[in-house]
Amino acid sequence: MLRIFNTLKKKLEIFRPVDKKTVTVFTCGPSVYQRSHIGNFRTFLFEDIVVRYLEYSGFPVRRGMNFTDIEDKALQEANRKKVSVRDLTGKNIRKFIEEMKLLKMRIPDYLPRASETVEEAVEIISELLRRKIAYRHGSNVYFDPLKYSRFGELYGLDRTRWPREKRRFHRDTYTGMRWNLGDFILWHGYEEGDIYWDTRIGRGRPSWNIQDPSMILKHYSGTLSIYCGGIDNLFRHHDYTRAILESVRPYPMARFWLHCHHLVVGGKKMSKSKGNIYYTEDLLQDGYTIEEIRFFLICSHYRKSLNYTQEKMRSAAEKLRDFKEKTHEMARRGNRRRGFDREVREKVKEIFAREMDDDLNVESAFEKLRDFLDGLKQGDLTPQKASGLVAGLKEVDTVLGVLF
């Protein structure tokens, strides 16, 4: 049985979906004021593995992933480049989908944009105002976290540190991994030069933290089985998202919360100022294949930070090439016309499932499969056994996406 680490409960739990007929998954997508780099794609590939393994395990999945195309950063970047916000974000969205396909990622059933769900955001804000959980200050609208009793549970926030004086934080995002202990913005009232919508709560635009709830409201009813994203979203985002949606709905937002840790470069966070940002094409230009890039990004445990160095990338690529060479040798030895050894095929799947069921441990699953192949006695390897091995690995590769 699949056991995964639930951030909300801070422990491993047996995965039980809300509805076995359809596992609902929502993944916190990219902010498209800029291109996504390989650090971003580590998280999105982890989410791809989650969906693929659920399907491999027999669960039908309905997945959504949002595009944040309205936020302070998008406005600032569009002004800097002297283009419209729509042109800026549209270009980055097209590039992102192109790279998803390149990296063999499943395209989600829903890819909503924040700009397409303003009406839903207004609906939520109106209800929060009616319930006096949100309030107006000037032309802005703010959420009072003290009105939601479970605020901060995802992160594990110490509520005793909350200041007595009223504080308001009016920006979409803030730098650094620290908490803003105060009220957060839901609606940016119109300011000259800003993009805006005319709505029943006034002229303005939705904040970053109202956007996921509005997109979930549009496409899902009931509790999500899984909500996931990057570990950085545990600061000033996912607790906000949960508080908003659970304040207007009489049921939990999600049963399981999953978070993928960062990819760093040489032990340092990627940033333009450090000049250490890598994109997919940078690794392709270095001679790596798409499968090798995908393998490097998925083949380490998602709850550990992944450190990119040229040496580690080269080592991962060589490890995959060696495994593929052995796999292709098995395919050459096999003879599918004479049938295949079902026991061997099931053994491959058993090894894979045992490790993957332990909190989606791709790294351990790959290593155990490699040990299994290395331990085979070549003299005992009949064409039927070779074909059985290949059949099992092809099924495993519907999750990994790196072998065939």
From first to last of its 404 residues, the chain has per-residue pLDDT tens of 999 999 999 999 999 999 999 999 999 999 999 999 999 999 999 999 999 999 999 999 999 999 999 999 999 999 999 999 999 999 999 999 999 999 999 999 999 999 999 999 999 999 999 999 999 999 999 999 999 999 999 999 999 999 999 999 999 999 888 899 999 999 999 999 899 999 999 999 999 999 999 999 999 999 999 999 999 999 999 999 999 999 999 999 999 999 999 999 999 888 776 789 999 999 999 999 999 999 999 999 999 999 999 999 999 999 999 999 999 999 888 876 667 899 999 999 999 999 999 999 999 999 999 999 999 887 778 899 999 999 999 999 999 999 99
| Residue 289: domain span | 280-400
Q: Are 28 and 259 in contact (CB under 8 A)?
A: no
Residue 265 within any structural domain of the chain: no
Identify whether residues 230 and 311 lie together within a single domain: no
Please state whether beta strands 254-260 and 306-308 pair in parallel, antiparallel, or not at all (unpaired).
unpaired
* CB neighbour list of residue 89: distance below 8 Å, 6 or more residues apart: 32, 33, 67, 69, 74, 113, 115
Identify whether residues 233 and 289 lie together within a single domain: no
Distance CA 282, CA 105 (A): 19
Mark which of 204, 229, 260 sits at the end of a domain.
260
Residue 267 within any structural domain of the chain: no
Identify whether residues 82 and 203 lie together within a single domain: yes
Q: Are 252 and 8 in contact (CB under 8 A)?
A: no
Unique residue bearing structure tokens 């939601």: 148
Please state whether beta strands 61-65 and 140-143 pair in parallel, antiparallel, or not at all (unpaired).
unpaired
- CA 178 remoteness from chain centre: 21
Number of structural domains the chain divides into: 2
Provide the CATH number for the domain around residue 97.
3.40.50.620
Identify whether residues 179 and 306 lie together within a single domain: no
Identify whether residues 42 and 152 lie together within a single domain: yes
Identify whether residues 35 and 119 lie together within a single domain: yes
Q: Positive or negative CA dihedral for 207, 210, 214, 220?
A: positive
Identify whether residues 212 and 314 lie together within a single domain: no
Q: At what angle do helices 310-333 and 383-400 cross, to 10 degrees?
A: 140
CA distances for 98 relative to 32, 39, 43, 186, angstroms = 14, 17, 17, 32
Identify whether residues 244 and 306 lie together within a single domain: no
Q: What's the CA dihedral at 46, 50, 52, 57 to 10 degrees?
A: 150
Neighbours of 272 (CB within 10 A): 9
pLDDT at 194: 92
Identify whether residues 34 and 116 lie together within a single domain: yes
Distance CA 141, CA 245 (A): 16
What is the SS3 assignment for 177? coil
Identify whether residues 29 and 172 lie together within a single domain: yes
Give 11's strand partners: 6
Distance CA 194, CA 196 (A): 6
Distance CA 402, CA 297 (A): 11
- Output the DSSP codes for 11-69: EEEE---S-TT-EEEEE---BTTS---HHHHHHHHHHHHHHHHHHHTT--EEEEE-BB-
Identify whether residues 252 and 286 lie together within a single domain: no
Identify whether residues 24 and 140 lie together within a single domain: yes
pLDDT at 193: 87
Distance CA 345, CA 358 (A): 21
Dig out the tokens for 385 from the structure: 């056994």
- Name the phi and psi angles at 27, rounded to 5: -115, 135
Distance CA 230, CA 85 (A): 25
Distance CA 188, CA 141 (A): 7
